[in-house]
Structure 1
């Protein structure tokens, strides 16, 4: 197989052209091709394929992407290997790779004629601009353009250009030469151009940047381009010696007659009178105030003088211009490191070292001096050993070249130089920032400063001194500086203290932001939690490690709880609740009540689940015909609830909040479910949530309880309760401005409106829900929401609009690389084709679902996919195949416990029975579907198409519906014993499922 990217994408297998479509597949192919024949790790692939918006599960998304790509390539070309994937073709078969290999060989060649031949061969491959699959691969184009420049130079050698060198000022001749560069300058051309531009416009330019960024190198390079420049090296100067250093440099650089002045200051100004000169003040930071005063006198007393200063902080003079020198870009940093490695050991890093080199560059923040020190270790260490050695970077980089000044010989000395210039408050602030791995939000600096008992202005001072930098409204720290701070804390025995203070600060900040999540500020609140994710994780780890911080851990779990639920991060929720459950037992605060209450619910459900798993190995067939399987009696869970709940409920009444107010109703409802569940059954999904204690609760709490009731009712087919509670919760959340609550309540309301036959209203509400949930939930949830709207459009007969929605939905799923979302989109596509009677097209869409990923999908999705397949097969007259699909669909639907899904499978069974001309049985199945769902889906698309084909009334949902299947939405759902209509619905549904299984001729479990 041959891949061509110059001039456009071209893929060929021998004489046969191949076609790979879709940005995801093209990006994966392109990234693997860049390292043809070599394993590319999962992480590297994910970072390049999804640079800006990684999927929720990159490994699963890569698996899905590779599975689809593999079908388009020759057998065996795309290999799954331990740790990643490999494209099994030669490097010479990829034009951009062959190009870079030829340029690299030309650059290494000692023979100019051979180098020129390789360079010309490389340039011959460049038949057009390189093609890339879009965002995330700009670095490839930059590398190729840089290699092209090298190739053109090697193919046609030319003398170095003198363009850009400033003309010498006749009055500044005989200057002392600027020290020659020991190694070629790599990168920094943009910064050099900016320095020149700033010097043309302003008289004082300060080159700012962290230690080791290369400020001196650029200052010297600028001075070399300006004959007559004077370099003043201030690193050796002590306070009070700056004028003497300037005088010495000027005296060496400018020949003057006998000077009459006696002071260093006056001699310098006399020497510069009438002259035009660039004065470079190098390394001002340790004498910054004095250097600023000297610069001011020079600018005032020598009008022809311009000054280029290098410092880790501004001089603070009026009219001062800046060039901010940050880390090297990744490409330049890799080039610098690779060249220095070659200088150290005679060979450049191999292709197998590519990932390790990238990690070294990232971990050392692209700082040139740090990269130089690390590359020097290649004399005795492998690249992998250097990479792993950076776990203790200050020990690894503890020696350096003897010829350079001491402050640049080790990584620690490099930052010690900055540390010595800091005040005590600035040092404390630096150490504080080091324990915030995500940096500190601009809004949060004041809170953090108070926690560490420092002035917030000291953080701004660290920005001025290049030890912190502002990025996206946050104060961030280079990783090397962070490690320095942590190392100092450890040496001083203060790491635990500072991490404890960080945990306190994060608990306060998280509590502040959590309050925004249940109202109109939910998006801003979630953005804060996302941006501070590592800070919060670090704080929780600290609380788990330091027993005296357990109460802070409870506060952190409480503040994170709602975010974890919204983001469906259940593992973190479970870990936090489990770790601090006992501490919360004191029940002396609102966080303790909420954490203890949620933990009690989680433990009760977990006990019930484990008891369910210990059911008899071969339960009786009749007990397996219901919606749920037999279990042992949930006595242990009931014992736990009855023992622990009263204290939690009593404490919740004292420590009132939006969340604590719902703890009591939830605990009572779950306890009632456990108490009323007969032995041998697991808990049904029909928990009754009462109103006790809610009369004076916050409106949000009452809205949340109504939303929970509507969700339980929707899942269990209790349509009357669904109608009443969804209306109540939606109205409350709208008043409160709670975006997430409104979206969820809208989804429930749309479900009820569909069953009520109010399809236009249902569609409007569903669309509103989808729009509101964007950015607040997972891609799979969004696709599911959109699928609901597509189904409503089909029931309204608006097929073209449904297809338009599908295109948008499929694009979203593919863009986010969500395997579950992609599968849901394919099923929605199949549903559309079923609605128009095209069984073949429906099957083609269903065949697009990644079968390998199906085991990871929830039972609802599996059952839905099999149900749609059965419908398509019925439309094609393949009744035996349809029956097999239904026999697989029904157990999955029952396993989900989701009544609407079970009802959908029942509808499919009715269609199959009608196709078999078993009209009476079809009517029974359709009646079962309505009873299980709790209402009649009168416009069900599959039934409508099949009814027209078969000319039978057996598939008329309205005729088949039982009396009262759709209750009056205004009907009360209260019963004297406080139980819900849903309990009866569940029992009835179990009987109907047993009948459906019999109609299929395949008892469950057979």
Structure 2
């Protein structure tokens, strides 16, 4: 070879000249001959984690020196050794070793020995022998040494088939000295000893292997090694392991959990079926399982076979040809010949692609397994064979990380793609969009020569158009994603096709009741659904059913889904759940709505105006409890764009709720404010949560104390007959009483609300009442008394997983801890509150928690930090509902105090004047008084 690394580095006929760094650079380029090695990777491989400051210049200088001896190109990102891989010993070795291993598996032992001997002759010593000090070299050398050991083993195995002898015993013992846990090497040693007439030594070798495995791993010998031992004892050992009729693979295999699960199943069962959708990698997985099986294995490809030809396909795969009789009727039929040939044979038979001739494959497997005790069958199908004793191993898409590895490996082969940190998000999106299906990922990677990975991620949603070209050597159904799914579609009955097309209306799956009522197949639904589950087009996950997005896209193209029926079904679900959300079964129904959240939101989007508006109304309380404010706002705004500013007849309340969900936290039109709608109600609203949302939008009334009492009593009278609404009105009355400074009234109202919600078993209302009692204790200055009700409110919020309320409760407890001289506890509460509020889009709680951090900084004398935090809070604080307006005023008050503490009287006065000028309403009274007093104490005079 003109170039080499399997020994001292070669550049031409002689060992490469120059220093160690120059030889290391050449060796590194030789390992990737013909491919670009990016400059940053070169630097890492040559210098390790701490390259010197001039590493780039040093590499460029060494490249210039190397160019005198070898052709090196630069493409703007890295360097490429411009030679054919076949001119480099390591690449020629890899090719020959792969060809030799393939020939060995197919039973061509002479070709195997020829290729493997030629491969091993390329080694001139240890790999990378003269550059081992380079950071990349040890790992690369270990990898190459492992490949050499494998080639030596394969070569000895081929020779044992051709010329059984003990000639390889010394070589095998050398291999075992370096790698004593390689059980296949121990098996070859035993075979070689038996071939040389030394069976006693073979049995001693087994005992030695057993001891090594027990000492090092605590494990017993493998099935292969145990089988060789048994054969030696019986005197029936053949020179080599049984032949396997499996095709050599052209690409790498990404390890997956199903591999070990399938191998384990085959140890205890004689029929295992890999079941999954098209493109999930069932065939490749079956071949990997078969290749690692200790005995003989044979692949039977049934994709192009007719139902009557299955036995003959197995005969052909096993190499059991017809005897040449002109009249076939004069000899045994194919099944009889199979039974005779396999009756005493140990064999793993892989029946691939059984779905289109299920009955014939099942009949043959059942007959063979009953008559041939040494036979095991591994089948691949989109539905089970249905034979007694069958073990099913579901094969789905790859997990995200494994899918990313597969895409990266195929992309490297197709376009030299190397996964960089900047590409990870795009590759992750591609894997998730394509459901992790290996075939789809391979088709996507094949597009990398044309599309950059970020553009591919953007386009892959249109999967059938983008993934329309695959390997020309693949089966027709595997050349495009459309063909792949169409193969499954064509195997369905008419009713199954209709259900699959209608099922596409669901998002995130569905329960059986939804499928039966929405898809409209009546009594046929269950049978059709069973067929789709059996044929891997729909997956069952507990009590729910789902469809992979790739299959969904194909089925949706077959006809329009029943969108209105879907919207009406989930409207009824939302109404039923909403009633239970205000009672003791609250948690159960929250989980029920969570399971169908995607369906509920899809129903809002594609339902007509009436069911969509009613859905928004029914979901308002659920959205609040789950902190889904951003989703609610987006859905409500989309719906208002469709419906318009005027409520359709009979939907006034629903339209107001939609505007409330769409408008918060932005200001609402005063002329059509929800408060006006509430004044027209003579009865409790159909959706009681309207009271709460409208109160946030309208803010507290600014009437006198007596008038407010009268207003609240009139409201309570209109709400009679709705215990939940009455209890909620008491919450509102309690807060209004606090704003008026009437602590006795506030205490009575919060206690009244707590009793009402406890009678209903409604956790959210109890949480509000406990929070009000805690605020009341804080207002009285009794911070110790505030802790028990606040802790109970927090417990209830956590139980509900109500993220907005939990964030607000934590912020409130942080305030109490700060005033109670617990700065560390307060800081923790403010930080956790901000994280929760940020996640659910509650910007006013983010702002108020950051304000709490600013006030903590001010209390410890850190004026600069306090000012920075308060300014950030001011920028974050929204407008449009009264809690946010109060937060905004307190932020400006804090900015004034921070400026005053820092000695800047003029900035302090600026903020205090803003507070006194902007403050309106009862809730601003205390803030206004504090700002006025601080401004008077400053007496700053006119601004300079």
TM over 0.5: yes
1:863 to 2:933 alignment? no
Give the match for residue 350 of structure 2. 280
1:431 to 2:501 alignment? yes
Q: Closer, same or farther in 2 for the Cα pair 1:350/1:738, shift >3 Å?
A: closer
Secondary structure (helix, strand or coil) at the match of 2:557 reads: helix
Give the match for residue 267 of structure 2. 200
Higher mean displacement: 277-286 or 774-783: 774-783
Give the match for residue 283 of structure 2. 216
- Alpha-carbon deviation of 1:803? 3.2
- Alpha-carbon deviation of 1:774? 2.9
Out of 590, 609, 613, the residue aligned to residue 554 of structure 1 is 613
Q: Closer, same or farther in 2 for the Cα pair 1:594/1:562, shift >3 Å?
A: farther
For 2:550 and 2:898, locate their aligned partners in 1 and report how far apart those are by CA, in whole Å: 60
CA contact (8 A) 1:747 1:769 kept: yes
Q: Closer, same or farther in 2 for the Cα pair 1:849/1:149, shift >3 Å?
A: farther
Give the match for residue 158 of structure 1. 148
Q: Closer, same or farther in 2 for the Cα pair 1:737/1:420, shift >3 Å?
A: same
CA contact (8 A) 1:215 1:325 kept: yes
Give the match for residue 392 of structure 1. 462
Out of 404, 408, 424, the residue aligned to residue 474 of structure 2 is 404
Q: Deviations over 1:99-124 (max 9, x none)?
A: xx99x999999556899599967857
After TM superposition, list the pairs within 5 Å mapping 1:242-261 onto structure 2: 242-250=310-318, 252=320
Give the match for residue 371 of structure 2. 301
- Alpha-carbon deviation of 1:529? 4.0
Out of 836, 840, 844, the residue aligned to residue 861 of structure 2 is 840
Q: Closer, same or farther in 2 for the Cα pair 1:871/1:392, shift >3 Å?
A: closer
CA contact (8 A) 1:232 1:245 kept: yes
- Alpha-carbon deviation of 1:434? 2.1
Number of residues of Structure 1 aligned to a counterpart in Structure 2: 749
Q: Closer, same or farther in 2 for the Cα pair 1:255/1:263, shift >3 Å?
A: closer
Q: Deviations over 1:694-731 (max 9, x none)?
A: 36422112112222333444456565653343222222
- Alpha-carbon deviation of 1:736? 0.9
After TM superposition, list the pairs within 5 Å mapping 1:225-240 onto structure 2: 225-226=292-293, 227-240=295-308
CA contact (8 A) 2:675 2:694 kept: no
Secondary structure (helix, strand or coil) at the match of 1:585 reads: coil
Give the match for residue 880 of structure 2. none
CA contact (8 A) 1:278 1:307 kept: yes
Out of 505, 511, 520, the residue aligned to residue 569 of structure 2 is 505
1:586 to 2:649 alignment? yes
- Alpha-carbon deviation of 1:249? 3.4
Give the match for residue 84 of structure 1. none
For 1:290 and 1:183, locate their aligned partners in 2 and report how far apart those are by CA, in whole Å: 31
Q: Deviations over 1:356-390 (max 9, x none)?
A: 43333332222221222233334555445544443
1:785 to 2:809 alignment? yes
Q: Closer, same or farther in 2 for the Cα pair 1:891/1:256, shift >3 Å?
A: farther
For 1:845 and 1:586, locate their aligned partners in 2 and report how far apart those are by CA, in whole Å: 55
Higher RCO (CA-CA < 8 Å; seq separation 6+): 1
- Alpha-carbon deviation of 1:195? 2.4
1:188 to 2:255 alignment? yes
Secondary structure (helix, strand or coil) at the match of 1:212 reads: coil
Q: Which runs of 5+ in 2 are unaligned?
A: 1-37, 60-77, 92-126, 155-181, 185-223, 878-883
1:769 to 2:793 alignment? yes
For 2:256 and 2:323, locate their aligned partners in 1 and report how far apart those are by CA, in whole Å: 33
For 1:347 and 1:597, locate their aligned partners in 2 and report how far apart those are by CA, in whole Å: 54
Give the match for residue 623 of structure 2. 564
Q: Deviations over 1:635-660 (max 9, x none)?
A: x549x998x889x747x67xx74639
For 2:407 and 2:666, locate their aligned partners in 1 and report how far apart those are by CA, in whole Å: 56
Q: Which runs of 5+ in 1 are unaligned?
A: 1-34, 39-88, 126-147, 490-494, 544-548, 612-635, 678-683, 917-998
Secondary structure (helix, strand or coil) at the match of 1:849 reads: helix
After TM superposition, list the pairs within 5 Å mapping 1:349-748 onto structure 2: 354-441=424-511, 445=515, 447-448=517-518, 455-456=525-526, 458-471=528-541, 474-489=544-559, 495=560, 497-543=561-607, 549-566=608-625, 567=627, 568-569=629-630, 571-572=633-634, 574-575=636-637, 576=639, 579-580=642-643, 585-587=648-650, 592=651, 594-598=653-657, 636-637=671-672, 649=681, 657=686, 659=688, 690-691=714-715, 694=718, 696-715=720-739, 719=743, 721-748=745-772
Give the match for residue 775 of structure 2. 751
- Alpha-carbon deviation of 1:784? 4.0
For 2:419 and 2:734, locate their aligned partners in 1 and report how far apart those are by CA, in whole Å: 62
CA contact (8 A) 1:882 1:912 kept: no
1:906 to 2:929 alignment? yes
Q: Closer, same or farther in 2 for the Cα pair 1:402/1:872, shift >3 Å?
A: closer
After TM superposition, list the pairs within 5 Å mapping 1:128-143 onto structure 2: none
Q: Closer, same or farther in 2 for the Cα pair 1:839/1:582, shift >3 Å?
A: closer
Q: Closer, same or farther in 2 for the Cα pair 1:1002/1:901, shift >3 Å?
A: farther
Give the match for residue 831 of structure 2. 810
For 1:294 and 1:556, locate their aligned partners in 2 and report how far apart those are by CA, in whole Å: 54
For 1:91 and 1:861, locate their aligned partners in 2 and report how far apart those are by CA, in whole Å: 56
CA contact (8 A) 2:814 2:830 kept: no
- Alpha-carbon deviation of 1:340? 3.2
For 1:447 and 1:36, locate their aligned partners in 2 and report how far apart those are by CA, in whole Å: 61
Q: Closer, same or farther in 2 for the Cα pair 1:232/1:724, shift >3 Å?
A: same
Secondary structure (helix, strand or coil) at the match of 1:236 reads: coil
For 2:140 and 2:405, locate their aligned partners in 1 and report how far apart those are by CA, in whole Å: 13
CA contact (8 A) 2:339 2:371 kept: yes
After TM superposition, list the pairs within 5 Å mapping 1:32-43 onto structure 2: none
Q: Deviations over 1:34-65 (max 9, x none)?
A: x9999xxxxxxxxxxxxxxxxxxxxxxxxxxx
- Alpha-carbon deviation of 1:475? 2.9
Q: Closer, same or farther in 2 for the Cα pair 1:221/1:598, shift >3 Å?
A: closer
For 2:813 and 2:395, locate their aligned partners in 1 and report how far apart those are by CA, in whole Å: 52
Secondary structure (helix, strand or coil) at the match of 1:158 reads: helix
Secondary structure (helix, strand or coil) at the match of 2:580 reads: coil
Q: Closer, same or farther in 2 for the Cα pair 1:893/1:672, shift >3 Å?
A: closer
- Alpha-carbon deviation of 1:414? 0.8
1:322 to 2:392 alignment? yes
For 1:910 and 1:400, locate their aligned partners in 2 and report how far apart those are by CA, in whole Å: 78
1:891 to 2:914 alignment? yes
Q: Deviations over 1:479-537 (max 9, x none)?
A: 21121122222xxxxx2x42233222322222232233222333443444444343233
For 1:178 and 1:718, locate their aligned partners in 2 and report how far apart those are by CA, in whole Å: 90
CA RMSD of aligned residues (A): 5.2
For 2:285 and 2:81, locate their aligned partners in 1 and report how far apart those are by CA, in whole Å: 25
- Alpha-carbon deviation of 1:153? 0.9
TM-score after normalising by structure 2: 0.67
Tell me which structure has the larger Cα radius of gyration. Answer: 2
Higher mean displacement: 324-333 or 823-832: 823-832
Give the match for residue 34 of structure 2. none
CA contact (8 A) 1:581 1:599 kept: no
Q: Closer, same or farther in 2 for the Cα pair 1:97/1:603, shift >3 Å?
A: same
